[in-house]
Amino acid sequence: MAPDPDIAACAGIVQKGDPDRFLAIMSGPVWLREKLFPLFAFNVEVARAPWVTQESMIAEMRLQWWLDALDEIASGSEVRRHEVTTPLARVLTSDQAQRLTALVNARQWDIYDAPFDEDDHFHRYLSDTSGLLLCIAAEIASKSDGAVMTDLISDVGVADGLARWFQAIPILENKGKRPLVDGRPEAVQQLAADARRSLKNARRNLTVGKDVKAVLRCAWQADAVLKQVERDPIRVANGDMDLGEFHKKFSLLWRSFNATW
């Protein structure tokens, strides 16, 4: 059977725009890859929508386009033809499409220069983006709708989102953003320590099958990055957060062979 061209296009979007998650998805079974690539391609497209233009109104319109597409999927009406939305409509339930509007709305922060107004706002941003994304992916992997230990999986996604955020801080600051509520080294160190505790708690208490573990491998680098920050928070400001390609790929390969995350 010839590969679905839309799935292939989604895989290409993820490979180019989110290469680490692409590798993690490729470590899972073929049937799951075909489900996850549309979801993660959607995330790539939404995440970059605020950054492809300096005009806030145009950025808002780009995000609104994705909100309208999710509304079409949620309502069961005809979904606009697009290499991402077409396969995404076959993957998401109505409830999942409705919940993903929070991910799109969270990205409005990326459009403007206003900082996060408090720690809860920053945590909510991570929860509505990386946390929600991982929860939906886990539901797809388990072939259920909202029944996959959501709180713990969200904690994993938030920790992963924070690790990625730390790595992106120099770029965000160069774009005029204020990415942290409190950028003092001791505050950054505390954020990393708290996230590592959440990861440890999730590893101890999550009971999931091998397909959901394949999804959780999307966060396979989180603990190593957060450990770096906890030990030396100055590395965040210096942009010195590279784990090295060999370390990353070997670590993922080990987890894949052992069916863990």
Shortest CA distance to 23 belongs to which of 40, 46, 9, 6?
40
Cα end-to-end distance, the chain, whole Å = 31
Structure confidence at residue 2 as a pLDDT band (50, 70, 90): low
Average pLDDT in the 48-67 region?
Answer: 96
Average pLDDT in the 71-95 region?
Answer: 97
pLDDT of 143 strictly over 80? no
The whole-angstrom separation of Cα 97 and Cα 237 is 36
13-32 per-position pLDDT tens digit? 999 999 999 999 999 999 99
Q: Which stretches of the chain are DSSP H helices?
A: 5-17, 19-26, 30-48, 56-75, 85-91, 94-99, 101-106, 119-126, 132-142, 150-174, 185-205, 210-216, 222-231, 234-238, 245-257
The whole-angstrom separation of Cα 191 and Cα 195 is 6
The whole-angstrom separation of Cα 189 and Cα 182 is 11
CA 134 to chain centre: 6
Please state the pTM of the whole predicted model.
Answer: 0.94
Average pLDDT in the 50-62 region?
Answer: 95
Q: Report yes or no: 36 and 140 within 8 Å, Cβ to Cβ.
A: yes
Average pLDDT in the 203-231 region?
Answer: 95
Place of tokens 């590279």: 242
- Paired tokens of 90: 């076959």
pLDDT of 148 strictly over 70? no
| pLDDT score at 100 | 98
Share of the chain above pLDDT 90, in %: 88
Structure confidence at residue 150 as a pLDDT band (50, 70, 90): confident
Shortest CA distance to 106 belongs to which of 169, 43, 195?
43
- Average pLDDT value for the chain: 94
100-110 per-position pLDDT tens digit? 999 999 999 99
- Paired tokens of 122: 């920053």
